């Protein structure tokens, strides 16, 4: 049967990118998704905003919800200092298998822990299983209707502490209205909207950055 889109994205990386060169992996995926087939990577435009937030926060522990093919995982991991790591959660085992190979091709596997499963199942175990105290940065890019319940779950599990930065993709397209309403109206978050475009298109989309202010 036909290959999957993630498999074709991995092929493009293996054909066009240099092993151990994260930027060439990012460039290869962006070129493929702009000129061959659209795919739901955060993309180059929103990716630059992601880069600036990661650089500003310079996190030691990052949680990414939604790995897909590992594009944003590579964008984040390439900016992390030695000793820092990103835990990335992917629900779809086929996506996870591709992402592992993309992350390996970039040479960043030592900075990445890819976990397969559902956020609701895994978040309560993060402290115990990974020895995480709290996350410095959380990148939300999974099911849009899970952004709000998972943010509340992260709060309840003490994985969000004063200064933790939440960065949410797709707050306009496909949209996360209940999440936006929560972080923008809560006295415990300082929120900012970075206006941009849906990856590889002219449609509006953006990232919402929300800093937890503590209880
Ligand atoms: O749907 C999207 N992403 C989510 C994937 C599943 O994630 C499932 N998933 C991944 C970990 C994880 C952990 N627990 C539960 C579910 C979990 C998504 C969709 C679009 C999009 C925009 C316009 C369109 F016309 C069509 C699609 C763009 C994006 O940038 C996205 O990120
Ligand atoms: Mg997204």
Instruction: Extract the tokens encoding 113.
Output: 């822990």
Q: Which residue has the tokens 């087939």?
A: 37
* Binding site membership of 88 for ligand 1 (Cβ less than 6 Å): no
- Of the residues 44, 64, 150, 169, which is catalytic? 169
Question: Is the separation of the CB atoms in 83 and 101 below 8 Å?
Answer: no
Alpha-carbon distances of 138 from 30, 61, 125, 133, rounded to whole Å: 23, 9, 16, 13
* Binding site membership of 91 for ligand 1 (Cβ less than 6 Å): yes
Q: What are phi and psi of 193, to 5 degrees?
A: -100, 125
pLDDT, tens digit (0-9, with 9 covering 90-100), for 34-59:
999 999 999 999 999 999 999 999 99
Instruction: Write the residue with the smallest CA distance to atom 10 of ligand 1.
Output: 66
ipTM of the complex: 0.99
Percent share of the chain, pLDDT over 70 = 100
Average of per-residue pLDDT values in the chain:
98
Is residue 144 annotated as part of the catalytic site, yes or no? yes
**Hey, is 208 helix, strand or coil?**
strand
Q: What are phi and psi of 208, to 5 degrees?
A: -110, 120
Ligand 1 atom closest to the Cα of residue 121 is: 14
Report the distance separating Cα 123 and Cα 136, nearest Å: 15
pLDDT, tens digit (0-9, with 9 covering 90-100), for 161-196:
999 999 999 999 999 999 999 999 999 999 999 999
> Which pLDDT band holds residue 106 (cuts at 50, 70, 90)?
very high
52 forms bridges with which residues in the sheet?
none
Instruction: Extract the tokens encoding 184.
Output: 């923008």
Instruction: Extract the tokens encoding 37.
Output: 């087939």
Is residue 45 annotated as part of the catalytic site, yes or no? no
Going from the Cα of 174 to the center of ligand 2, the distance in angstroms, rounded, reads: 9
Alpha-carbon distances of 51 from 42, 43, 75, 128, 185, rounded to whole Å: 11, 11, 7, 29, 26
pLDDT, tens digit (0-9, with 9 covering 90-100), for 3-32:
999 999 999 999 999 999 999 999 999 999
Is residue 169 annotated as part of the catalytic site, yes or no? yes
Going from the Cα of 97 to the center of ligand 2, the distance in angstroms, rounded, reads: 19
* Binding site membership of 53 for ligand 1 (Cβ less than 6 Å): no
Nearest to 115, CA basis, from 88, 143, 141, 137: 88
* Binding site membership of 142 for ligand 1 (Cβ less than 6 Å): yes
**Hey, is 101 helix, strand or coil?**
helix
> Which pLDDT band holds residue 1 (cuts at 50, 70, 90)?
confident
């Amino acid at each position: 049967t036909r290959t999957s889109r993630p498999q074709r994205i991995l092929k493009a990386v293996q054909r066009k990118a240099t092993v151990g060169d994260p930027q060439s992996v990012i460039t290869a995926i962006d070129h493929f998704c702009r000129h061959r087939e659209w795919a739901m990577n955060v993309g180059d435009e929103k990716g630059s905003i992601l880069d600036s937030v990661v650089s500003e926060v310079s996190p030691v522990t990052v949680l990414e919800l939604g790995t897909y093919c590992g594009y944003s995982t590579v964008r984040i991991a390439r900016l992390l200092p030695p000793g820092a790591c990103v835990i990335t959660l992917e629900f779809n085992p086929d996506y996870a298998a591709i992402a592992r190979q993309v992350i390996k091709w970039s040479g960043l596997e030592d900075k990445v822990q890819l976990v397969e499963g559902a956020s609701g199942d895994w978040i309560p175990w993060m402290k115990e299983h990974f020895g995480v105290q709290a996350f410095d940065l959380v990148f939300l890019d999974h099911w849009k209707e899970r952004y709000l319940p998972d943010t509340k779950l992260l709060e309840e599990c003490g994985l969000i502490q004063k200064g933790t930065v939440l960065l949410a993709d797709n707050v306009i397209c496909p949209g996360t209205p209940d999440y936006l309403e929560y972080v923008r109206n809560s006295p415990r978050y300082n929120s900012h909207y970075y206006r941009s475009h849906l990856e590889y298109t002219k449609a509006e989309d953006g990232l919402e950055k929300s800093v937890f202010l503590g209880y």
